[in-house]
Amino acid sequence: MPGRGLLRLTVGWALLSLCVAVDTWPYMTLQTAPYQPPQIQVTKSGTTDPGYLFVGPRGNKPEGTAALIYDEDGNLVYQGPDEVTANFRVQRLFNQDVITFWAGNMTDLGFGYGTVHILDNTYREIYMVTLQGNFVTPDNSVPDSFIDLHESHISDRNTLLVTAYNVTQQSLTSIGGTPEDYMLDSLFYEIDIATNEIVHSWSALEHADQIALTDSKQGIDVDHGTREQPWDAYHINSVELFDEGYLVSLRHYWSGYYVHGNGTVMWQFSGELGKGDFKLDQAGVFSWQHDMRIYNKTDTGMILSLFNNANTPTETVAATTGLSYAVDLVNRTAKTLRTLSDSKDVIHSVSQGNYQQLSASGHVVLGYGSIAKIKEFDANNKQVLTAQFGTDNEVASYRGYKCAWKATPFWAPAIVVRRVSDDSAQVFMSWNGATEYDNWAVMAADAPDSVSTTIVTTFKRTGFETSGTVRGLKTKYLQVVARRGDIPLGMSPIVKYNQNRNKMHLNLISLALCLSPLALALPPQPILSKPPMKTNPQIRPTNQTLGHALIHNTCTSNIYLWSVGSTISPQFAISPNTTYTEVYRRDPASGGIALKITRVADGLYTAAPQMVFAYNLVGERVWYDLSDVFGDPFLGSRVRVEYRGLAGEEEDEEKRIEWVDGMSPGGSMVRVAGAEGDLILTVC
């Protein structure tokens, strides 16, 4: 039984603050953004699964402390706001890919207080999940949200599973403490993402009759047991749905627990031989684990995986491994299926970490937590990729993932120009977060507000930032366009480059890419949905403050749509009886958004007749109108725009636009409505 003076584990991330060594790891410098992310060193030794590397580094210097995406060649793809983040990855929400991360403040006790942010594939924040309650903190502070960093897992029922820690006064005489000691209660919450309402909660301390304090592997010493330094008996670090309840990982018990929806502990999966409710083989022993996950669940069995730290800051004797088991739920046995470790690079991770099953190919990614490395293993348990982004034990990423991701940012590409002679200039260009472009076109313009520009030259995309020298210039104004092949995806503002040589010009508008995406109005993840949209008002989720622009196709053939601001989205084909949806957004360069619709593929680029449904989000209102250019694509068919407000709000006929025969009846089509409601354009 642990007692005072037997403290075995110094808390997880707190050890990072103890490191006083100078960080000599190389960091990037860029011309088009003020970022200094760590350079990532990628080594491949076999065939890898496709995807980008997602990390949230934190170390002893502020540079690179952000949510970061890299490709397998070591190129930066995206840097988020300068802040401490965790659990940065791609998840599925309402059948769409989103990126999620926790951001907040770390404590010196190995947990944190923060919020979970959910962004769409344009990096617009579509949901922010918070947690309020009667929590007690070590320093008596009251943060805006009490969500802990350890878990932010989107469930199959579109809820968010999060962890929390609460300072609680508790008699610890059973482990050598006093009747007035303080400890940390480990809790988890299931939160409805759309409404931010708590669906379910659970407290480990409330079930001390089933999870005894005396079974904790975390001893208590003379420095712990106060409110400022409470004893961390449990250390919850992962939660996911399981059967009629949840699977909960408690690091300081070397165990996972099946917790029924009524709170009862149904069984314990222990890493010690002879403990818990399942019989392990010798190869399956684990300790101080993280990230317990379940796959292929049936009535009689399942696959269970975990990250086996097997070390603490005071014990670094065993190799850290990734483990998976074939679990027999009937006979209560667990057979070890995989033990993942790189024999040429044995790692001792004392805190944090994760095990990610990539695909049916059998590839697995391990994020090594306190060691700034990610490794990928193939189906034969062979290491095929190692990525390092910091010095061992000086930089950490709570978890590290590899994820497929496609994104076209709302913000404009950035351009920096340096004049090198009277008719030549060096151009630097980047588009933070963009994954779909492969080349740049440098355009010459006669004035800063020129409508037409001329291609001067093109450059192949080279990593995050591309540069090249442009010669034979006859104008003072330049613009860059990010393209996929010949298709433009985003364009920078037109800038006037400096007449003096060797002086840099950074256009201020493109500095938008350097701001926190959470502070900007970012465009939404478009959604194509069936069946046909109902005309009854729908209750707006209270955790999403903006309404939507919807295009509903009742024609008998496809229509084609582009969402256009300072950038042009890819073409969306909207099939009959299907609805396109995007959350209102405001473009930082153009302000308004134009949804351009044609009846032929690629019609935007062939001057085909277009219907333009334009809107401008201004504060709590959205201004909108309807027009046609190059002809009337829906001539002879009814076209109408309707406004749908919150449930219970009466319909306002003055907000409607209707073209009975598919042609404008003349007069002003401009309307204004509350930004919390939806605008629905129905064609045909």
Q: What is the pLDDT of residues 166-217, one digit of tens each?
A: 999 999 999 999 999 999 999 999 999 999 999 999 999 999 999 999 999 9
Mean pLDDT of 290-314: 96
The pTM score is: 0.76
Highest mean pLDDT among 123-132, 159-168, 576-585: 159-168
- With a cut of 90, say whether residue 503 has pLDDT above it: no
User: What confidence tier does 540 reach under pLDDT thresholds 50, 70, 90?
Assistant: very low
Matching fold, domains 414-496 and 548-683: no
Higher pLDDT, 536 or 465: 465
User: What confidence tier does 641 reach under pLDDT thresholds 50, 70, 90?
Assistant: very high
SS3 235: coil
548-683 domain in CATH 2.60.110.10?
yes
- β-sheet with 465-470: strand ranges across: 465-470, 424-430, 414-421, 504-506
Tell me the sheet residues that pair with 338. Answer: 324
- What is the residue extent of each domain of the chain? 414-496, 548-683
Q: What is the pLDDT of residues 26-78, one digit of tens each?
A: 999 999 999 999 999 999 999 999 999 999 999 888 888 999 999 999 999 99
Q: What is the pLDDT of residues 584-636, one digit of tens each?
A: 888 877 778 999 999 999 898 888 899 999 999 988 889 899 998 888 999 99
- With a cut of 70, say whether residue 22 has pLDDT above it: no
* Per-residue model confidence (pLDDT) at position 401: 99
Establish whether the linkage from the previous residue to 576 is cis, with ω within 30° of 0: no
Q: Other CB atoms closer than 10 Å to residue 27's CB: what's the count?
A: 14
Q: Are 478 and 427 in contact (CB under 8 A)?
A: yes
SS3 657: strand
Round the CA-based radius of gyration of the chain to a whole number and report it: 28
Of the candidates 103, 194, 37, the residue with the CA atom closest to the CA atom of residue 545: 194
Of the candidates 470, 410, 476, 411, the residue with the CA atom closest to the CA atom of residue 442: 470
The lowest-confidence range among 115-119, 554-558, 575-579 is: 575-579
Task: For tokens 């001057």, name the residue.
Answer: 607
- With a cut of 80, say whether residue 455 has pLDDT above it: yes
The CATH number, out of the four listed (3.60.110.10, 2.10.109.10, 1.20.1050.10, 2.60.40.10), of the domain defined by the range 414-496: 2.60.40.10
Phi first, then psi: what are they for 549, rounded to 5°? -100, 125
- Look up residue 312 and give its amino acid: T
